[in-house]
Chains A and B, each alone.
Chain A
Amino acid sequence: MKYGMVVDLDRCQGCRACMEACKVENNTAQGHFWMYVFRYEEGSFPETQINFLPRPCQHCDNAPCVKVCPVGARFSREDGVVLTDADRCIGCRYCELACPYGVNYFNWRKPEKGQYEIVDWSDPDLEPVTGGAIPPYRNPDLDGLHGEEQRRTGGGSQAKGVMEKCTFCVQRIEKGLQPACVTTCPTDALVFGDKTDASTPVGRYLAEKRTWRLLEEAGTEPSVFYVGSRPPTHRSKEIERPKASV
């Protein structure tokens, strides 16, 4: 049993709903995109190509981030999910360096400072409803410990100075739910499940469709498989970047 994800680029609309679902579910800090959707362009007018490419953490079977973590805060579970222990992480950011996919996000600020401060969530008129939670939609599942290893691995904005990234929504999959991005994808371009079982949707995709993985040559053995289109090249130019600053 190993979790994997299939991203069907023939279906992806580049709408970035997955990014928003992730942000609300995981309460990640402003400017952090555990799920990120590239919109990029190739060629010149009128022979232009525009493509979309969702980029979650690749949950590599041979994860470079896990290898380099000096304290074992970044670890690989038996079910293939690569997680970060927020209580263990020392904030050296080596995993971020090692990852060729750019999926890691560091808590540069205190957690409560990263929640879209332009809006004053501590407004006293909100308090009777929210109990002072910041953000007001703070997901309580993120405060717990997860997995048989019982480590603090779910969700974002855990603490200042620790690294975070996509968890395949560990707090959801242990409830039998799909990751938030997969659930919300308006065109079902994201599929999640056991990649070793040919009877699951993921397994079927792997058996029936030609798939490829990002930066296959890096030897990281990602668990995220892409269908359709083709990998971006060095000539691909990103367009419509979100405001990813802290």
Chain B
Amino acid sequence: MRRFWTAACLVVGVVLMVVGYTASAPWGTESVAHSDPRFVFAPAVFVLGVVIAFSSALVYELLPEKRRH
């Protein structure tokens, strides 16, 4: 379970990073507003991804042991 949540956290973080990054940098679009991210707060998603990815370490260490309960 611990490994699953840690991996999940890592994966979610990385996915968010990829999504956030690509959405922040809409290369290939030629619209007037091509300086804008594809959606507002995309950079926040990227940062969130970074944070979540690193949070996997927290999850890994802090997740309570089931058997103790």
User: In the bound complex, how far is the Cα of B37 from the Cα of A78, in angstroms?
Assistant: 17
Q: Are A69 and B35 in contact (CB under 8 A)?
A: yes
Interchain CB contact under 8 A, B30 and A66:
no
Q: Looking at B31, B35, B37, which has the most chain A CB atoms within 10 Å of its CB?
A: B35
**B35/A75 in contact, CB under 8 A:** yes
Instruction: Tell whether, in the assembled complex, residue B30 and residue A149 are in contact, meaning their CB atoms are under 8 Å apart.
Output: no
**A72 at the binding interface (Cβ < 8 Å):** yes
In the assembled complex, the Cα of A74 lies from the Cα of B37 at a distance in Å of 14
* Chain B residues, Cβ within 8 Å of A75: 32-35
Q: Which residues of A contact B32 (CB under 8 A)?
A: 75, 77-78, 147-149
Within 8 A of B (CB), among A43-68: 66
Chain A CB count within 10 A is highest, among B30, B31, B36, for B36
Is B30 in contact with A76, judged by CB distance below 8 angstroms? no
Distance in Å from the Cβ of B64 to the closest Cβ of chain A?
Answer: 41
Q: Which of A72, A147, A148 contacts B35 (CB 8 A)?
A: A72
Q: Is the CB of A72 within 8 A of B36?
A: yes
Would you give the shortest CB distance from B14 to chain A, in whole angstroms?
23
In the bound complex, what is the Cα–Cα distance between A76 and B30 (angstroms)?
A: 10
Main SS at interface, chain B? loop
With CB as the reference atom, state the residue of chain A lying closest to B33. Answer: A149
Q: Are A78 and B30 in contact (CB under 8 A)?
A: yes
Q: What is the minimal beta-carbon distance from B27 to any residue of chain A, in angstroms?
A: 12
Within 8 A of B (CB), among A75-133: 75-78
Smallest beta-carbon distance A165→chain B, Å? 16
Contacts of A148 in B (CB 8 A): 32
Q: How far is the CA of A74 from the CA of B35 in the complex (A)?
A: 8
Considering only CB atoms, which chain B residue lies closest to A151 in the complex?
B33
Q: How far is B35's CA from A77's CA once the two chains are assembled, in angstroms?
A: 10
The 0/1 profile, CB within 8 Å of A marked 1, for residues 20-40 of chain B is: 000000000011111111000
Which residues in B have their C-beta under 8 angstroms from that of A74?
Answer: 35
Q: Hey, which chain B residues are within 8 Å of A147, CB to CB? A: 32
Give the Cβ gap from B46 to chain A, nearest Cβ, in Å: 13
CA distance A66 to B30 in the complex (A): 14
Residues of B within 8 A of A76 (CB): 35
- Write out, one digit per residue, whether chain A residues 145-157 have a CB within 8 A of any chain B CB (1) or not (0): 0011100000000
Shortest Cβ distance from residue A52 to the other chain B in the assembled complex, whole angstroms:
34
Residues from chain A with Cβ under 8 Å of B36 in the complex: 72
B residues lining the A interface (CB < 8 Å): 30-37
**9 A–B pairs (Cβ distance < 8 Å), ordered by A:** A72-B37, A74-B35, A75-B32, A75-B33, A75-B35, A77-B32, A78-B30, A78-B31, A149-B33
